[in-house]
Amino acid sequence: MLVENYSPNIRTALKRAKIKVGDRITVEKGKENHEGLLMPRNDLGDKNALVIKLDSGYNIGIGFSSSMKISKSNKKEPTNIKEEVEFEMGKKAVPKLKFDSSKPPVSLISTGGTIASRVDYKTGGVRALEKPEELLMNVPELKDFANIKVISPFKKMSEDMDYKDWQKLAKLVAKELNAGNNVVITHGTDTLHFTAAALSFMLTNLHKPVVLVGSQRSIDRGSSDAFSNLVCATHMALSNVGEVGICMHGSMNDDYCTFNRGTRVRKMHTSRRDTFRTMGDVPIAKMSTKGNIDTISKYNHRKNEKVKVDDKFEPKVALLKAYPNSEPEILEMLVKKGYKGFVIEGTGFGHVPTDAKKSWINTIKKLTKKKIPVVVTAQTLYGRVNENVYTNLIKLFHDAGAIPGEDMLPEVAYVKLSWVLGHTKNPDEVKKMMLTNIAGEITERSVINTLQV
């Protein structure tokens, strides 16, 4: 299988040694010795490099040379590696998983993302799993404490999510919770915090945990965080916490995970496994894969009450950043496109350019007079907007009519304004709702010990 993608020299050497893809081989090249399963080569890689899967689960490429020795190995490969390769090469179907119905019920809602992906050996990229059960197959310990039911409403990478997906998830989550099931949502990490914020506003009268989880490494990577994240998330779904949150690695190691409130969390690194951080506050809880949960901040407690869905949403809201040399014309252009509201990431305490030639103040004032709300947040992420420190801020908030975003994260303010405008376009009501703490998105005060570096 896919041996033809290797170079003629490699194909000749493999044929001579009677080796085919999937065989366990030993490769001797100079002073280096490697042993593992021969993998197919993807279309985009070096044709003159052997790809083998090590017992650690990692794949490596070894450049071919005429002096290297390739032979079959008599050593038996680990069962988990053999099964993994069979799945990756499409030789084995996903087994039907059996869970104990006497265990607490957990509805695993699979939406896609890296946590539901693996390497595609044809392209070398990452592809979605054919079935979400492939993920569960690699986490057998879940059977010890949960009765898992898998639901897959759609499969999307998170950058393709939109508000309609959030609405669909909100309805599905409420249905499962009201049926007595606990809920874990697997999701791509890039926009995971947007979805967490959306569910925080759309799910009302919520007194049960809604746990979103993802991973920074696909499940076929030796360093994958998918397994421990999913175990921790499932424990969290059975906990006494009654809020929406993201449960993922709390450090670069596999020692613990954190549960971060859905309106105070943000992805802060492109690739680190502890990328999700609670901003301007502390996580709700930290936990181990053994199920030990340590709550470290105030939270809403679990109650057996019916969850309601309030998913009205105005999609024509824009999130913009103020920066040196930026001009306000972009606001006017978007208004012509039908946009109904704006969230601006201001500099420092919430500044926007005020130079006479490029001032945003007059444009914002025109918008607010047209009943188009403009919310200003701080692009520093930590701290909060202050409308009274500088004269230009007084002009922006008191004269032009911009709404101070307090210490809301920009992405959360964007989701919240969209949700608020789905309910009312009345400027006074919009301002009142934006300044009201609805789902933990606004803290009472900014404390010094929440700045993480």
pLDDT in tens, 441-450: 999 887 777 7
Of the two residues 79 and 112, the one the predictor is more confident about is: 112
pLDDT of 79 strictly over 70: no
Query: Mean pLDDT of all residues in the chain?
Result: 89
pLDDT of 434 strictly over 90: yes
pLDDT of 220 strictly over 90: no
Q: What is the pLDDT of residue 126?
A: 63
Q: What is the pLDDT of residue 175?
A: 98
Confidence band (pLDDT; 50, 70, 90) for 127?
low
Q: How far is it, in rounded angstroms, from Cα 257 to Cα 249?
A: 4
Q: How far is it, in rounded angstroms, from Cα 37 to Cα 80?
A: 12
State the pTM of this model: 0.82
Q: What is the pLDDT of residue 335?
A: 98
Confidence band (pLDDT; 50, 70, 90) for 42?
low
Q: What is the pLDDT of residue 1?
A: 47
Distance of CA 180 to the CA centre of its chain: 26
In 3D, which of 113, 382, 167, 115 has the Cα closest to residue 264?
382
Which residues have a catalytic role annotated?
Answer: 114, 189-190, 267
Point out the least confidently predicted range of 86-90, 243-247, 385-389. 86-90
In 3D, which of 237, 241, 278 has the Cα closest to residue 258?
278
pLDDT of 393 strictly over 50: yes
Q: What is the pLDDT of residue 136?
A: 77
Q: What is the pLDDT of residue 59?
A: 78
Of the two residues 446 and 43, the one the predictor is more confident about is: 446
Q: What is the pLDDT of residue 60?
A: 83
List, in order, residues 6 or more apart from 186 with CB less than 8 Å away: 108, 109, 110, 111, 112, 113, 115, 116, 132, 135, 213, 214, 230
Q: 304 in the Ramachandran plot: left (φ > 0), alpha (ψ -120 to 50) or beta?
A: beta
pLDDT of 364 strictly over 70: yes
Q: Return the percentage of the chain with pLDDT > 90, whole number.
A: 61
pLDDT of 219 strictly over 70: no
Q: Return the percentage of the chain with pLDDT > 70, whole number.
A: 88
Q: What is the pLDDT of residue 246?
A: 98
Q: How crowded is residue 17: how many other Cβ atoms within 10 Å of its Cβ?
A: 14
Of the two residues 93 and 5, the one the predictor is more confident about is: 5
Of the two residues 56 and 196, the one the predictor is more confident about is: 196
- Helical spans, DSSP H, in 109-249: 133-137, 163-178, 192-202, 226-237
Structure-token pair, residue 212: 């979103």
pLDDT in tens, 133-190: 777 777 888 999 999 999 999 989 899 999 999 999 999 999 999 999 999 999 999 9
Q: What is the arithmetic mean of pLDDT over 264-281?
A: 93
pLDDT of 87 strictly over 60: no
pLDDT of 426 strictly over 70: yes
